[in-house]
Chain A
Amino acid sequence: AQSVTQLDSHVSVSEGTPVLLRCNYSSSYSPSLFWYVQHPNKGLQLLLKYTSAATLVKGINGFEAEFKKSETSFHLTKPSAHMSDAAEYFCVVSDLRDTGRRALTFGSGTRLQVQP
């Protein structure tokens, strides 16, 4: 079984300040982990992914995430927030199994607000 907990439903930051969106996961197998972003009335866009290579993963638009197995965490960070970063962010886990089947398990989402 696998699950994802996003520790904050809402995060508000000022433009130009750092962003931290927290995610903890649970997985019976070696996990693949993703962060997706969803802007209003738009589909889901992949920000970054971890698939057992480097533990520090760089994504698009300046976002990064660090896989910490001991803490079962995969927090998303960005050094400086931009107004265009305001959106809903989802942490996602998938099991990397031999069968190749993949069902994504989503967290409940974190709404990021960026104040001017």
Chain B
Amino acid sequence: DAGVTQSPTHLIKTRGQQVTLRCSPKSGHDTVSWYQQALGQGPQFIFQYYEEEERQRGNFPDRFSGHQFPNYSSELNVNALLLGDSALYLCASSFWGLQTEAFFGQGTRLTVV
């Protein structure tokens, strides 16, 4: 049983560019959440998707957007990249509405230069 998979594992982008990160949830999970983990800090919640809709959003600007597909996989898009967007981006999957744990992928390390 594959867990949560994210791609790519590493990415280098230039300021002002756009980036798309991808996530496939654990088999059977229907909810995907995205987190940003800056160096030396705890992950911060970006947003959550269920039934292809954004259900909850953290304190992130509109430059951060997402999408969920019918197969429950998800994308995170970041426009107009800033140096401060450099971080580890983590995807978590879970069941909607059940108080079960979230399973995390290994993350995508984004470096903006």
Chain A positions near chain B (C-beta within 8 angstroms): 32, 34, 36, 41-46, 49, 51, 90, 94, 96, 100-109
Contact = CB atoms under 8 A, between A and B. Distances in A.
Nearest to A108: B42
Given A96-B99, A106-B42, A101 B106 contact: no
A105 B104 CA distance: 14
A5 to B, nearest CB: 11
Interface string B38-58: 001111110010000001101
A102 B104 contact: no
Given A32-B99, A42-B106, A49-B101, A106 B43 contact: yes
Interface of B: 4, 33, 35, 40-45, 48, 55-56, 58, 90, 92, 94, 96-99, 101-107
Interface centre among A49, A90, A100, A104 (most CB of B within 10 A): A104
Given A34-B101, A43-B106, A100 B96 contact: yes
B96 to A, nearest CB: 6
Given A43-B105, A94-B99, A102-B33, 17 more contacts: A36-B104, A43-B104, A44-B90, A45-B104, A46-B103, A96-B99, A100-B96, A100-B97, A101-B48, A101-B56, A102-B48, A102-B102, A103-B58, A104-B33, A104-B43, A105-B45, A109-B42
B56 A107 contact: no
A10 B97 CA distance: 35
Contact of A106 (B4, B44, B48, B107): B44
Given A42-B106, A103-B58, A108 B41 contact: yes
A36 B4 CA distance: 16
Contact of B45 (A41, A43, A44, A104): A104
